[in-house]
Structure 1
Amino acid sequence: MEFTLGQLAALLGGKVEGDENQIVNRLDKIQEGLPGGISFLSNTKYEPFLYETKATAVIVSEDFKANKSFTTTLIRVKDAYSGFTTLLEAYAQFSKMALVGVEEPSFKHESSTMGDEGFRGAFSYIGKSCQIGVQVKIHAHAYIGDRVKIGDHTIIHPGARICSDTIIGANCEIHPGAVIGADGFGFAPQEDGTYRGIPQIGNVVLEDYVSIGANTTVDRATMGSTVIKRGAKIDNQVQIAHNVIIGENTVIAAQAGISGSTVIGKNCVIAGKAGIVGHLKIADNTTIGANTGISKSIKDPGQTLFGYMGFELKNFLKSYSIFKNLEALEKRIKELEKKG
């Protein structure tokens, strides 16, 4: 991928100081910059590298003033760090969406449709009656079951499994090894001590701009839908059980587990290894700390919970100041008992 400095400056809303027709094809660290690369300078600690770098161009902030001469071309933007972040985002998106066509062998059932500018990687599988939008990228060894719907610009990474009847919105990203729509954990205990499987006949719905991490599992509903709403971001190795609802723009970190039929509000933050039991409601803007267990509904929005089982952060910190010193307190009590 090659771009002129003029094109990049237009993307970033900046100005080129030098030849805007120079071409770059790579993003470099400023200390490792070579011809054809573009870097950025936002931290003054790295300013000495500006005077040494061989990068074709360096992005700097509008107010930057050099103390020595340099050979690289500058692109001045409002904020260098934000500008380079925008460039990284554009580069990553361009790389992801550049693939077009079909690698063989791959399979798509004749009853399924796929929009223009899509990609099917080798050994990918698309079942019956699927509706797949434009610029959807389905990478190698990905599985798409029957009657699946996938919105425009969504990416299904290698080895992901999208089970039957799943609905995925636009601009979603499903990372390698994720399983969307496997059966929920539904078993009815019997009088003889065995368990009878309950058919899981619902589905999973992912709204637009949802990201599902590698090896994460989202179970289909017993009836109805398991729903992950617009903008939610789910990390690697997360378990989301049947009939769960995850609110808009909620983020869930690795190894967290959400039990069946729990409803998580919008803009929540659930840290790694947190566990939430079933049939609860978690209010909007709740933060749940790492390794925290939640056993009852959280009704008031905006709380931060920590501990096992989880309770309000201020109360936890007060209690922690006591129980971290329990050994010393016990010793003092025994000494007082002896004196008594």
Structure 2
Amino acid sequence: MELSLDELVGRLGGELVGDPAVRIRQIASIEAAAEGELAFLSNPKLGAALATSRASAFILTPKAAGLTDRPRILTADPYLYFARAAQLFNPPKRPVAGLQAGAVVASELHPSVCVGANAVIGQDCRIGENCVIGAGCVIGDGVVIGADSLLHAGVKIYDGCVIGARAILHSGAVIGADGLGFARDAERRWVKIPQIGRVLVGDDVEIGANTTIDRGALDDTVIGNGVKLDNLIHVAHNCQVGDDTIMAAMAGLAGSTKVGKRVMVGGKAGFSGHLEVADDIVVSAATNVTKSIDKAGVYTSLVPIQTHADWVRNFSHLRRLDAMAERVRELEKKLAELEKKS
């Protein structure tokens, strides 16, 4: 696709400054952009990069409009505008509808559905119009997938799970595997508890590669509308994730954790089980959340990086922290007694 700046602004909005006839064929970074490409700048402090960039036009804030005399589109949020322009210039590829070689399908499908090579679809499934089921996917019995959803190669969805419309599931995602449900008998052996709940995934959800969402033990595991999960995330049984929450790679939710709406979770953050996290909370990367959070804000528990020698020295103090606290309490008590006598 190639558009003039005038055509682009006509589709996406913004204020155009400069030649409206300039042709754009792709989005690129400021550093790597070439002629015919559009770059964006969110931080005016990095404006010096505009002078050396080869981009034909830029996406800038109104305050940064004077940093270049080349064509520019002015908008309050250049990064958001860039995202929408990137979608426009890079529409998803859609394979031809129908069954490819080796596909095994035991459910009736709409003619618009594409099923990739060696994919398997079980009985009593309802697959919406225009869905793409990638090569090697395995869809269990009774699964529901909403219209216009895309499953990349190798996705596994267990029996009875529900995926909403316009979902994107990346390779290796596993939806509906058993959660860690076991009871211990008198001989300290583990007795499996059948996991009879489902996974319910809302509309417009994206689930990253090798991310796993366990089915509920009794009730369902629920992923709300608009949720974005990065690669290598684990959501345990009976968790609930609110609408428009986003989680970065390697984050993990232990069983029965409830995360609110519009929550932002950094990479490798971990949540203990049976917690409740309110709406509009930000959890920093590598943070361990061990208790419920009921107030919006930014929460962090990681230790800043330091040299090994400093870490050893500081940790040695930390090991004596309880004893030091007891000594402080004793000193405070003696001080209070001295103040009474005086």
TM-score exceeds 0.5: yes
> Structure 1 residues 285-294 or 168-177, which shifts more?
285-294
Query: 202-211 vs 134-143, which deviates more?
Result: 134-143
Structure 1 residue 147: Cα displacement = 1.3
Helix, strand or coil for the counterpart of 1:9?
helix
Matched, 1:84 2:78: no
- CA separation of 1:65/1:326 partners in 2, compared to 1, >3 Å: closer, same or farther? same
CA RMSD of aligned residues (A): 3.6
- Aligned residue for 1:232? 227
Deviations 1:144-185 (A, max 9, x none): 222111112222122221111110112222122111101111
Return closer, same or farther for 1:32/1:244 CA change in 2, 3 Å cut-off: closer
* Structure-to-structure mapping, 1:208-223, within 5 angstroms: 208-223=203-218
Aligned twin of 2:27? 27
Q: Which residue is equivalent to 1:268?
A: 263
- Mapping of residues 294-313 of structure 1, within 5 Å: 294-296=289-291, 298=292, 300-302=294-296, 304-307=298-301
Distance 2:34 2:282 in 1: 44
The equivalent of 1:111 in structure 2 is: 107
Contact 1:127 1:147 (C-alpha < 8 Å) held by counterparts: yes
* SS of alignment partner, residue 205 of structure 1: strand
Q: Is the CA contact 1:177–1:216 (under 8 Å) kept in the aligned structure 2?
A: yes
CA contact (8 A) 2:224 2:241 kept: yes
1:255 is aligned to 250
Decide whether the 8 Å contact of 1:97 with 1:137 is kept in 2.
no
Distance in 2 between residues matched to 1:19 and 1:286, nearest whole Å:
42
| Residue number in structure 1 paired with 2:188 | 193
Residue 48 of structure 2 aligns to a residue in which SS?
helix
| Aligned residue number for residue 241 of structure 2 | 246
Residues 23, 36 of structure 2: 8 Å contact kept: yes
Aligned sequence identity (%): 33
Cα distance in 2 for partners of 1:244, 1:167 equals 15
Unaligned 5+ runs, structure 2: 303-313, 328-342
State the 1:325 CA deviation.
12
Instruction: Point out the more displaced range, 276-285 or 159-168.
Output: 276-285
Aligned length: 307
- Establish whether residue 184 from structure 1 lines up as the match of residue 179 from structure 2: yes
Structure 1 range deviating more: 193-202 or 1-10: 1-10
Q: What secondary structure sits across from 1:113 in the alignment?
A: coil
- 2:168 alignment partner in structure 1: 173
Closer, same or farther: CA 33–265 of 1 in aligned 2, 3 Å? closer
1:231-280 superposed Cα distances (whole Å, 9 cap, x missing partner): 22222212111111112222223222222222222233333333323223
Which stretch shifts more, 80-89 or 187-196? 80-89
The answer (yes or no) to whether the contact 1:106–1:120 under 8 Å persists in 2 is no
C-alpha contact (below 8 Å) 1:205/1:227 kept by paired residues? yes
Cα deviation, residue 102, structure 1: 4.0
Q: State whether residues 30 and 50 of structure 2, in contact with CA within 8 Å, keep that contact through their aligned partners in structure 1.
A: no
User: Retained in 1: the 8 A contact 2:158–2:177?
Assistant: yes
TM-score normalized with structure 1 length: 0.74
Inter-CA distance 104–2: structure 2 relative to 1 (3 Å threshold): farther
**C-alpha distance 115-267 of structure 1, shift in aligned 2 (>3 A):** farther
Change (3 A) 1:288 1:80: closer
